[in-house]
Amino acid sequence: MVDKKLAGAGLRGQSAGETALCTVGKTGSGLTYCGYDVKDLADNATFEEVAYLLFNGELPNSAQLQEYKASLFIQRDLPQALKEVLKLIPADAHPMDVMRTGCSFLGNLEPETDFSKQQQAANRLLAAFPAIMCFWYRYSHDGVEIDCVTDEESIGGHFLKLLRGETPSEQHRRVIDVSLILYAEHEFNASTFTARVCASTLSDMYSCITGAIGSLRGPLHGGANEAAMDMIQKFKSPEDAKVQMAGMLARKEKIMGFGHAIYRESDPRNVIIKEWSEKLAHEHGDTSLYDISVACEEYMWDTKKLFCNADFFHASAYHFMGIPTKLFTPIFVCSRLTGWAAHVMEQRSNNRIIRPSADYIGSEPRKVMPINQR
Ligand SMILES: CC(=O)SCCNC(=O)CCNC(=O)[C@H](O)C(C)(C)COP(=O)(O)OP(=O)(O)OC[C@H]1O[C@@H](n2cnc3c(N)ncnc32)[C@H](O)[C@@H]1OP(=O)(O)O
Ligand SMILES: O=C([O-])CC(=O)C(=O)O
């Protein structure tokens, strides 16, 4: 992989600190977490192992993993007061606003009183996020007050069972697990940087994560998977996709799910989720949405040399698993929380308040005129 030449606005190309958690787009390695290639992790690990890795710097052994999973398992239920708050949020609310409120409200009920509790706070959010999302979704959309506890061993399986009320297939469990691994960590992206800036003021874990959710919500960042889904559903065929995309590009519209701030030629997560999307399309019995997605990928590369980022084939993969589009970005939250929390801890371990400077481009110094003379 070739390093992308980075310059210009948006702090592009400027180092804003050090991290031992992740490399993105370095020559010869697409994406690594604590030294492990993301493909290796997606093929050979589970999301809980990756969470442990990000929090501890090393993969767990069997006993450590069992202990960690057991500790998460017993923290999945939500306090009644949080359920009551979630019940008040209307069905047409944006699910990312629900996640933001859920995170923030939990911080009121179970505050991180001092930094010695940081790992507990991160684990609690990791265990509780699927229930925050699904309790609100099922109550507001189906009028059902779900039980927030399931017998599913993994966080991914737990999420699918909460959402559907039935035991997921082994294939769906695996795909959601891989998805959570792929989304877990990505260096100083916008939401993680938000979390680190907040952490640098010595604020609490819940504030850092709440702020990060707000940053991830935007369509230029995590919201792109939903936006990509909305787009491909409008295309009637691969040929129609090409015609419509040509129009979008001519109108200078952004095509969601394409391009990246750091990668130059490809996003290493794309090939992994694309493969799963194809498998799920065949299982689904109708591959048209997958075929349309492939046509989009080819067209964007041929015309603009723009490639699919992690979000693009996540759209069809989630869709084939029957996940409602509006929950796509909240799933990203359930995963990236691990990266955010690990960065908060890393920031705290060697902190200086993050406070860059600005180049002033405003008026010359001037006097306040009395109001009746303005
Ligand atoms: C998990 C994630 O957050 S991954 C990112 C998810 N976001 C998206 O998919 C949204 C669509 N993509 C984009 O908006 C951008 O590619 C970003 C925000 C991801 C990166 O932005 P930048 O770093 O500014 O992109 P970059 O410098 O590579 O852009 C180069 C040119 O390609 C264009 N371009 C980049 N991506 C796209 C796109 N998806 N559609 C159309 N044009 C694009 C830019 O407008 C720019 O053109 P210009 O020089 O005429 O202004
Ligand atoms: O790194 C970025 O700019 C965006 C991001 O979070 C990702 O691709 O996962």
Task: Please name the residue whose Cα sits nearest to atom 7 of ligand 2.
Answer: 186
Establish whether 311 is a catalytic residue. yes
Handedness of CA 347, 351, 353, 356 (dihedral sign): negative
Query: For residue 283, which amino acid is it?
Result: E
pTM of the shown model: 0.96
SS3 at position 97: helix
For residue 221, the ligand 1 atom closest to its alpha carbon is: 3
* Choice from 12, 22, 221, 312 to test ligand 2 binding pocket (greatest atom count within 8 A of CB): 221
Distance 312 CA to ligand 1 centre (A): 13
Establish whether 284 is a catalytic residue. no
Ligand nearest 188 Cα, by number? 2
Pairwise CA distance, residues 179 & 333, whole Å: 12
Q: Which residues contact ligand 1 via a Cβ below 6 A?
A: 220-222, 224, 254-261, 306, 309-311
Task: Please name the residue whose Cα sits nearest to atom 24 of ligand 1.
Answer: 261
Ligand nearest 260 Cα, by number? 1
> 92-143, pLDDT tens digit by residue?
999 999 999 999 999 999 999 999 999 999 999 999 999 999 999 999 999 9
Task: Please name the residue whose Cα sits nearest to atom 27 of ligand 1.
Answer: 261
Distance 4 CA to ligand 1 centre (A): 13
Query: For residue 61, which amino acid is it?
Result: N
For residue 221, the ligand 2 atom closest to its alpha carbon is: 4
Query: For residue 306, which amino acid is it?
Result: L
> 346-356, pLDDT tens digit by residue?
999 999 999 99
Tokens representing 46 are 């589970």
> Whose CA is closest to 128, among 153, 106, 113, 152?
106
158, 186, 260, 314: the catalytic one is 260
Q: Which pLDDT does position 3 carry in this prediction?
A: 56
Distance 148 CA to ligand 2 centre (A): 30
Distance 24 CA to ligand 2 centre (A): 9
Query: For residue 16, which amino acid is it?
Result: A
In eight-state DSSP terms, residue 110 is S
Q: Where are the alpha helices (DSSP H) in 189-322?
A: 190-200, 205-216, 224-234, 238-250, 268-284, 288-304, 310-320
Distance 362 CA to ligand 2 centre (A): 32
Q: Which pLDDT does position 28 carry in this prediction?
A: 60
Task: Please name the residue whose Cα sits nearest to atom 4 of ligand 2.
Answer: 189
Pairwise CA distance, residues 118 & 211, whole Å: 16
> Whose CA is closest to 295, among 351, 348, 235?
235
- Helix and strand totals (H; E) in the chain: 16, 3
Q: Which pLDDT does position 130 carry in this prediction?
A: 98
Strand partners, 150: none
Q: Which pLDDT does position 26 carry in this prediction?
A: 86
Low-confidence ranges of the chain (pLDDT < 50): none
Distance 183 CA to ligand 2 centre (A): 9
Q: Which residues contact ligand 2 via a Cβ below 6 A?
A: 186, 189, 261-262, 309-310
Which residues have a Cβ under 8 Å from the Cβ of 7 and sit 6 or more positions away?
A: 13
Q: Which pLDDT does position 127 carry in this prediction?
A: 98
For residue 12, the ligand 1 atom closest to its alpha carbon is: 23
Q: What single string gives the DSSP state of each residue in 7-28?
A: -SSTTTT------SSEEEEETT
> Whose CA is closest to 106, among 128, 135, 87?
128
Distance 6 CA to ligand 2 centre (A): 15
Ligand nearest 218 Cα, by number? 1
Pairwise CA distance, residues 64 & 122, whole Å: 17
SS3 content of the chain, % helix, strand, coil (to 5): 60, 5, 35
Helix or strand (DSSP H, E) at 251: none
Phi, psi (rounded to 5 degrees) for 24: -125, 120
Task: Please name the residue whose Cα sits nearest to atom 19 of ligand 1.
Answer: 260
Task: Please name the residue whose Cα sits nearest to atom 3 of ligand 2.
Answer: 189
Q: How many CB atoms lie within 10 A of CB 177?
A: 21
158, 311, 314, 319: the catalytic one is 311
Tokens representing 200 are 């640098």
Contact predicate 160/132, CB 8 Å: no
Q: What's the length of the chain?
A: 374
Contact predicate 242/299, CB 8 Å: yes
Helix or strand (DSSP H, E) at 102: helix 95-109
